[in-house]
Amino acid sequence: MIPETFKEVIDLGDGREISIETGKLAKQAHGSVVVQSGKCMLLCTVVSNYQAADVDFLPLTVDYREKFAAAGRYPGGFFKREARPSDGEVLIMRLVDRVLRPLFPKDYHSETQVMIQLMSHDENVMPDAMAGLAASAAIQLSDIPFECPISEVRVGRIDGELIINPTMEQLKSSDIDMVIGASEDSVMMVEGEMSEISEEEMVEAIKFAHEAIKVQCAAQVKLAEAFGKKETREYEPEAEDEELQKKVKDLAYDKVYAVAKAGSSKKERSEAFAAIKEEVKATFSEEELEEIGGLVSKYYHKAEKEAVRNLTLEEGLRLDGRKTTDIRPIWCEVDYLPSVHGSSIFTRGETQALATVTLGTSREANQIDMPSYEGEETFYLHYNFPPFSTGEARPIRGTSRREVGHGNLAQRALKGMIPADCPYTVRVVSEVLESNGSSSMATVCSGTMALMDAGVQLKKPVSGIAMGLITDTETGKFAVLSDILGDEDHLGDMDFKVTGTADGITACQMDIKVKGLSYEILVKALMQANAGRMHILKELTDTIAEPRPEVKSYAPKIITRIIPGEFIGALIGKGGEVIQDLQKKSKTTIVINEDPDTEEGIVEILGTDQDGIDMVLKKIDSLMFKPEVGSIYEVKVIKVLDFGAVVEYMDAPGNEVLLHVSELAWERTENVTDVVNLGDVIDVKYFGIDPKTRKEKVSRKALLPKPEGYQERPRNNDRGGDRRGGGDRRGGNRDRDRDRKPRRD
């Protein structure tokens, strides 16, 4: 018997609905829901161990997977099953994790796993916009301690009208693509890309999304009540000792404040803080540290955080001596690497990114194969964060989720500025060489300069900045920090990265750690970010003002030609022999794609040698060459036969036509070599298709004056006349079989 189910329906206001259902699937999980919109169905489960892990953080794992069966497809490749997550799945995991994590109790350390699976795909529904709703709904049905329901929605804007959860097709004409995560009373996460919108427009979109999220949070509460709200489980909280906390603060606070106010470098500051911590620990015996050493460390870090925050709130100073609006010193350089197609270095304080650009054909496009989306990217950016960038030594275990997320943010910041007619596939790689605050924004800046250095005709240069926020809810004081340090990221209440041109925002990523952040503070942060971006943008354009007019001499040049579909086969040749031989001779790479709409061939020619490119273009022109009736062409004799000469058009090598012996001269020609020889270059006139022979006809004699007294010999219509044109000048052979090979008289 099918078990009883409980369901809530959310009206999106335009005829679309989202339903949340529980009670039928995965009942051994601590919480499970099926979220559905149209034919798109997500199954989300959550399980949290009842025993705490031996760690001092929340071991939360958010997994999002798309099943190919959901779209009626097979996984690609030899291994026919879903394996490691794709970059697209990792990005969705990050979107959900960033909203959930702050809402678990800070002292809750049980291993917790949220699993979201796309079980049924609908091409008109983007599943990532419902992943946060599914995760929160599953947690609400469990006994896991969690502060309040949240949800996430996507916002688009078409012709000035904001839309919740637009379709993939609608996004193509939208100038905003943002995902917002929030609870009923607080915005917590924003990520997306925009087409140079203003700060006010961005805030308007966030507000619009928040109103939709409030409805989705209320639906989760109703579902939990109908299902039967479980009692929140009891767990063993972290040990606390108020007296010990006060003692550690008294020992450390003033010393930390003094070091923070000194405005030292990261290395000096870290050493000074470590020395203070050791001094605090030295006031306890070894026996005491064995028992309460963990608490001592915990309370020291609390004191350190409080001292640094208060320094900023009370005196407007920061760890490195800057004021809240100051940007660290910047230096830039382009064309640093001698062999790459484009390169640049961007250094801001103790953060440094080296970017490279590689240009290629459509063959190098990044193929995306997910159940919910198939396509390709002709512009993509990869971000690498090696351990030495922070002075650490640790093993590299593949690309981290952080690297995927930071690279995607930088890619979204820049991709809108790549012109639509850029013929190349463009790959940017950012190598983070030093890191102390916002290496992703350094990547945007170095990427901009490297693209311009490579000769990619960017519409406008893009800069980026990371903003921070420190607030005191009791006093109402707050400080917005421009160009935050790594330490300020950890101790602050907001990490807000924003990128854009001189005319507007192109991408953003925001994580808010404080409840009830007012929109007034958000607007102030955005406007302060604008001033910082403009300062950084000037540093970039002072280094390289505009894209180089051409790619570098050693970088490949690409030419695109469109050819009728009927010529594609001729250019490729039998078994690819023509195109392979042409690539070898021209030292180019030739890629041919067929336009599915027009069935035309799109030919990409990539090479560093212009002569090689010209060779390929000449071959294409030759293949498509169509002589015009009445026109005169220069031809070369490439073969001599008994009954004429085979000639090749000089303007179209490879295009041959028979110049019949009767069209060589007005006088009777006994031997072809009496008039032309192999290698001769002559002019001929093109007459089109001869109605008698149904073959192309060219003539040399038509360009020569008729001899004085010349008379046409009459044709013998009964016998068909001379096959060479004109009368039967040979006077015999009329009984010769037409199918026999002609012979000399």
Task: Give pLDDT tens digits for 298-308.
Answer: 999 999 999 99
Q: Does the structure show a pLDDT above 60 at 639? A: yes
Per-residue pLDDT at 722 exceeds 50? no
Report, as an integer, the average pLDDT of 256-283: 92
- pLDDT at site 723: 42
Residue 185 labeled ligand binder: no
For residue 391, is pLDDT > 80?
Answer: yes
pLDDT in tens, 9-27: 999 988 899 999 999 999 9
Strongest mean pLDDT among 414-418, 662-666, 723-727: 414-418
Closest CA to 262 of 303, 306, 308: 308
Q: Which of 31-45, 595-609, 671-685, 699-713 has the lowest mean pLDDT?
A: 699-713
Would the pLDDT of 353 be above 60? yes
**SS3 label, residue 358:** strand
| pLDDT attached to residue 359 | 94
With 60 as the cut, is the pLDDT of residue 577 above it? yes
Question: Which band of pLDDT confidence, cut at 50, 70 and 90, is reported for residue 731?
Answer: very low
Mean pLDDT within 548-575:
89
Above 90 in pLDDT, residue 415? yes
Give me the percent of the chain exceeding a pLDDT of 90: 67
Average pLDDT over every residue of 336-350: 95
Report whether pLDDT(249) > 80: yes
Q: Which DSSP helix (H) or strand (E) runs through 444? A: helix 439-454
pLDDT reading at 622 higher than 90: no
47-99 residue pLDDT tens: 999 999 988 889 999 999 999 999 998 888 778 888 889 999 999 999 999 99
pLDDT score of 714: 60
Per-residue pLDDT for 730 more than 70? no
At 732 the three-state DSSP class reads coil
CA angle 708, 710, 712 (to 5 degrees): 160
Average pLDDT score over the chain: 90
**Where do the DSSP E strands lie in 478-540?**
478-482, 494-501, 504-512
The pLDDT, as a whole number, for residue 266 is 87
pLDDT at 725 over 60: no
Q: How far is 246 from 253, CA to CA, in rounded Å? A: 10
Task: Determine the angle formed by the axes of helices 199-227 and 128-140, rounding to 10 degrees.
Answer: 40
Residue 232: the pLDDT is 93
Cβ neighbourhood burial of 282 (10 Å; 0-12, 13-18, 19+): exposed
pLDDT reported for residue 274: 94
Asked if pLDDT for residue 496 goes beyond 50, the answer is yes
The residue among 247 and 741 whose pLDDT is bigger is 247
614 is in an annotated binding site: no
Q: 565 in helix, strand or coil?
A: helix
- Locate 742 and state its tokens: 């002609």
Q: Give the C-alpha separation, 199 to 218, whole Å.
A: 29
Question: pTM of the full predicted structure?
Answer: 0.84
Cα–Cα distance, 568 to 562 (Å, whole number): 10
* Spatial separation of the C-alpha atoms in residues 239 and 46, rounded to whole Å: 27
Q: What percentage of the chain carries pLDDT values higher than 70? A: 95
Task: Please count the other Cβ atoms lying within 10 Å of the Cβ belonging to residue 622.
Answer: 16
